[in-house]
């Protein structure tokens, strides 16, 4: 439960920073409640739909050396916009791709700072640093 709440907060911060940096992405009303609702929707979309999309587009991901994951992140952000009920506003596909990239970077940095990992398994250098 703790990890879920931390991930929702990380998503909310990532969405807020992305909306602050990119003029093509905005939040309808800059309240914490709206950010948390969008973060929960984004988390659910990522948890359910992202693995399916990655499986279905596996050849494209290999062919583009992983760059197609940026397109998948943009599509998931657009889906989040559609499900959020006009709380999140994105001006187009390329803004969504760029926003997905920025949210991914912010998420990775914040997860690293907060020590979140998947399933309690540390890989690479992180295993030896703790």
Rounded to 5 degrees, what angle do the CA atoms 79, 83, 117 make?
Answer: 65
User: What pLDDT shows up at residue 96?
Assistant: 96
The reported pTM is 0.84
Q: In whole angstroms, what is the distance from residue 27 CA to residue 11 CA?
A: 14
Q: Two tokens at 46?
A: 């990522």
Share above pLDDT 90 across residues of the chain, in percent, rounded to a whole number: 74
Task: State the total domains in the chain.
Answer: 1
User: What pLDDT shows up at residue 30?
Assistant: 82
User: What pLDDT shows up at residue 127?
Assistant: 45
Q: In whole angstroms, what is the distance from residue 15 CA to residue 9 CA?
A: 10
Rounded to the nearest angstrom, the gap between the alpha carbon of residue 123 and the centroid of all alpha carbons in its chain is 21
User: What pLDDT shows up at residue 114?
Assistant: 84
What DSSP letter does each residue of 36-89 carry, written as one string? HHHHHHHHHHHHHHHHHHHHHTHHHHHHTTTTHHHHHHHHHHHHHHHHTTSSEE
User: What pLDDT shows up at residue 98?
Assistant: 96
Low-confidence ranges of the chain (pLDDT < 50): 125-130
Q: What residues make up the domain containing 57?
A: 2-129
């Amino acid at each position: 439960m703790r990890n879920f709440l931390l991930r929702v907060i990380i998503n909310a911060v990532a969405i807020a920073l992305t909306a602050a940096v990119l003029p093509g992405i905005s939040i309808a009303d800059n309240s914490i409640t709206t950010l948390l609702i969008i973060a929960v929707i984004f988390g659910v979309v990522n948890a359910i739909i992202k693995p399916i999309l990655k499986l279905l587009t596996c050849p494209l991901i290999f062919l583009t050396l992983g760059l197609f994951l940026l397109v998948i992140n943009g599509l998931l952000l657009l889906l989040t916009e559609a499900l959020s009920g006009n709380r999140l506003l994105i001006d187009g596909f390329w803004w969504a791709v760029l926003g997905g990239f920025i949210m991914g970077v912010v998420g990775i940095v914040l997860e690293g700072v907060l020590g979140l990992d998947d399933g309690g398994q540390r890989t690479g250098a992180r295993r030896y640093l703790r």
